[in-house]
Amino acid sequence: MFSTFLPFHDPEDTAAVGPLALNSQDFFETSPVSFNVQKPIRYFVSSLFSAGTGHRELVREAPLASLSRSKRYTYSGAPLDQFDLDVLLHCTAAAGSSRRRGAWTEHAQLVRTLGKRNDAATRKRVCESLARLQECTIGIEGDGYRYMTRLVNRALLDEGAGASLVEVNSDFADSIRSMRGLDLLMQERRAMGANGLAKWLHGVLWIIPAGFSSNFATLSKLCGMRSTSSHGFRTRCLGALDLLVTNGVVTEYSVEDSGGLYVSGRRNNTRANACGFFSLPDTQRGCSRETVCAHA
């Protein structure tokens, strides 16, 4: 699967359209789009939604690890994790395809959808998550431009009523809806339980269902778990992959003597016949080479 690869300048430009939709375009050609078109890879294959819950200290313009060479991402607010992504996906699904200003979300229903225990502590956790999502901003810097966006435009949090009125930012909502299969995505994430790393890896394979190769150090940075020891991360990563195998998301994986990790996905998109080779740009203390390989 990983024997042949072709270089590509920026995996963002193809790795999350459909996902990896080839349509009638040349595989490595991309049509010019406005920079405010958010691609799902920015949310699922980056450190924005960390695989582990750490300190919630506020940050300002903190750099985000991603695969992009042509853009730089920053984050301001309280750090987010996979639970926050679960909440955001639920609110996006609740709004449907409507462009109305907000969707009324009952906290108890949200908790049940996430497969969590419906108690006061969990409902409070939902409110805290919505507050973080509303208050954060994401910076995107490219060649000569700087763009600021949000995840949630506005949220009316009513803990007394046990419900919230949430307006998800259209940039994010349109990006997620472009993937299709949001209900299945949420259902499969629920099967991962509280395993944030399994959910993060599941998101990667949702974007690149054919699979990927990487080293553990790169994955540790990409998923936002840099503080974990190399041995500890490797152990957690292999455990998460075992969970994904059990749930049919990963067909197989292997680790080379050199430490390289190879993960084969289920290819849930019939046209997704490419796999990713992950490495970080020089600015993120990694190799500057990103590639996409074609599977014959």
Domain assignment present for residue 14? The answer is no
Residue 135 CA to residue 153 CA, distance in Å, equals: 9
Do 87 and 221 have their domain in common? no
Residue 243 CA to residue 40 CA, distance in Å, equals: 23
Do 218 and 109 have their domain in common? no
Model confidence at 294: pLDDT above 50: no
> What pLDDT score was predicted for residue 27?
29
> What pLDDT score was predicted for residue 45?
93
Phi, psi (rounded to 5 degrees) for 107? -60, -40
Domain assignment present for residue 292? The answer is no
Which CATH number fits the domain that encloses residue 116?
A: 1.10.10.10
Which CATH number fits the domain that encloses residue 217?
A: 1.10.10
Cα dist from 266 to 19, 73, 211, whole Å: 13, 30, 8
Phi-psi region of 217 (alpha: psi -120 to 50; beta: other; left: phi over 0): alpha
Do 208 and 94 have their domain in common? no
The larger pLDDT score, comparing residue 91 to residue 258, is at 91
Q: What sign does the dihedral 290-144-80-165 (CA atoms) show?
A: negative
Do 147 and 205 have their domain in common? no
Domain assignment present for residue 98? The answer is yes
Domain assignment present for residue 156? The answer is yes
> What pLDDT score was predicted for residue 38?
66
Do 165 and 195 have their domain in common? no
Residue at a domain's end among 130, 146, 179 = 179
Do 188 and 255 have their domain in common? yes
Helix (H, G, I), strand (E, B) or coil at 195: coil
pLDDT class of 142 with cuts at 50, 70, 90: confident
Domain assignment present for residue 253? The answer is yes
What one-character-per-residue DSSP string does 278-289 give? ----GGGTS-S-
Give the number of domains in the chain.
2
Do 174 and 215 have their domain in common? no
pTM summary value: 0.82
Residue at a domain's end among 117, 150, 179 = 179
Residue 240 CA to residue 124 CA, distance in Å, equals: 27
Residue 196 CA to residue 193 CA, distance in Å, equals: 8
The tens digit of pLDDT for each residue in 164-198 reads 999 999 888 888 887 778 999 999 999 999 999 99
Do 64 and 168 have their domain in common? yes
Do 144 and 218 have their domain in common? no
Do 134 and 55 have their domain in common? yes
Model confidence at 100: pLDDT above 70: no
Mean pLDDT (whole number) for 213-222: 93
Residue at a domain's end among 179, 206, 236 = 179
Q: Which domain holds residue 225?
A: 184-280
Per the CB < 8 A criterion, the answer to whether 76 and 65 are in contact is no
Do 131 and 55 have their domain in common? yes
